[in-house]
Amino acid sequence: MERNRWETAIRCLEVAVHPGTGDDEVIAAVNGFRRTAEGVPLSQVCLEYACGGLPLAELARFKETIDRLNRENLELRRKLAVEEAAQSATARRLDEACRRIFELTEEAAASQRVAEAIEREFEEFRAAYAKAIDEGRLAAAAHLLMLKATAGQEASGTRRPFSAFLAEARLAADRAAAAVGGGNGTGRRPANDPGQPWTA
């Protein structure tokens, strides 16, 4: 409403200062401006017209509101910058924590593999040790049986002649050589070979 009022007052002044306006029309236009402006100075009329017809007091309040909003905007920007810096620091710490967790996971996996290898080696050693113990027991039992048999023969008074032990030893050596090289290593056939008679 005020804008229409100021527009009418300024239009009256335009008519008053126009070169083609007569004296009577100038006086009428000036009187129209006075009635329309109702004592408001021309500078204020122009200012309020340029500001959309708002009164100066309302314009001052509007300017204060704009200034307050600008200050709040600056404060919010400052807080936002602080929050962004804090978030960046938190993101860096999270990245470092993730990297450290990955390293620890890799180290734990490597330690697990080493522990499993050690456990396998220990199981293999325990199995080999148990086998050696069993073989040792069997050998001891066989030796004990042989001692008992020898003691029994001595007790009965029947001894085998030395020639019998010698023949058995020679026969065992010939068999071993035949198994390895197909002969006894002397160029002669084994002693128990009935194929051809022995010759010097």
* pLDDT tens-place string over residues 26-40: 788 787 877 777 777
Does residue 68 share a domain with residue 138?
yes
pLDDT at 76: 92
Domain co-membership, 65 together with 123: yes
Same domain assignment for residues 41 and 110: no
Based on the structure, what is the number of domains in the chain?
2
Rounded to the nearest integer, the mean pLDDT of the chain is 76
- Summarised one tens digit per residue, pLDDT across range 133-178 is 878 777 777 777 777 777 666 555 556 666 666 676 677 777 766 6
Both 68 and 140 in a single domain? yes
Residue 90 has pLDDT above 50, yes or no: yes
Does residue 173 or residue 3 have the better pLDDT? 173
Residue 38: give the domain boundaries: 1-54
Is the C-alpha dihedral spanning 13, 19, 24, 27 positive or negative? positive
**Confidence grade of residue 106 (pLDDT, cut at 50, 70, 90):** very high
Check whether 73 has a pLDDT greater than 90: yes
Same domain for 103 and 90? Answer: yes
Is residue 97 domain-shared with residue 146, that is, in the same domain? Answer: yes
Asked if the structure places residue 13 within a domain, the reply is yes
Domain co-membership, 70 together with 7: no
**Which residues have C-beta within 8 Å of that of residue 190, sequence separation ≥ 6?**
171, 174, 175, 177, 178, 183, 184
Task: Looking at the structure, tell me whether residues 49 and 61 fall in a common domain.
Answer: no
Cα torsion for 7, 8, 9, 13, to the nearest 10°? 100
